[in-house]
Homo-oligomer: A and B are copies of this chain.
């Protein structure tokens, strides 16, 4: 049987969440990151909702012919991004953040908010590598201190993809 395709998680603020950086920039980065993930033959996993970074990453991946998995917090089909191929309806609320952390081989955080912080922390707790893309210096300093060997910082999409490639190798 052929090897499974790697699953890359992309996390980041939805529009309505508290966040510390302009959302438009993150949406653009997530679109491009989703495209690159699909172009490399990886599966994309996000929180699956039709807002913010998760929606943009899925739309990017679909535009490049990729496959997208959404781990939804709700129990039903409400709020699913149209760009999710495989919606997993957990009904777990924010407890589903840990499924994202466990199921992805590498997590990329685009921007930062409380939910994104939870996912990064849960990934580090599970000893998963994390790439921070366009977060902020406070986030980089804090998470680097928590788990030095697991935390990687990228300034642009190309840098993030290079990190992912290296981590999957």
Using CB atoms and an 8 Å cutoff, list the residues of chain A in contact with chain B.
Answer: 1, 4-5, 7, 17-18, 20, 43, 62, 69, 71, 75-76, 82-99, 101-103, 112-115, 117-118, 121-122, 124-126, 136, 138-139, 141-143, 145-147
Tallying the copies of this chain within the complex gives 4
A88 to chain B: which residues have CB within 8 Å? Answer: 69, 71, 88, 99, 103
A82 touches B1 (CB 8 A): yes
Q: Which of B83, B103, B113, B118 touches A87 (beta carbons < 8 Å)?
A: B103
A92 touches B92 (CB 8 A): yes
A18 touches B98 (CB 8 A): no
B98 touches A97 (CB 8 A): yes
Bound state CA distance, A121 and B101, in angstroms? 14
Interchain Cβ contacts under 8 Å between A and B, 7 examples: A1-B82, A20-B145, A76-B102, A88-B88, A92-B93, A114-B147, A138-B142
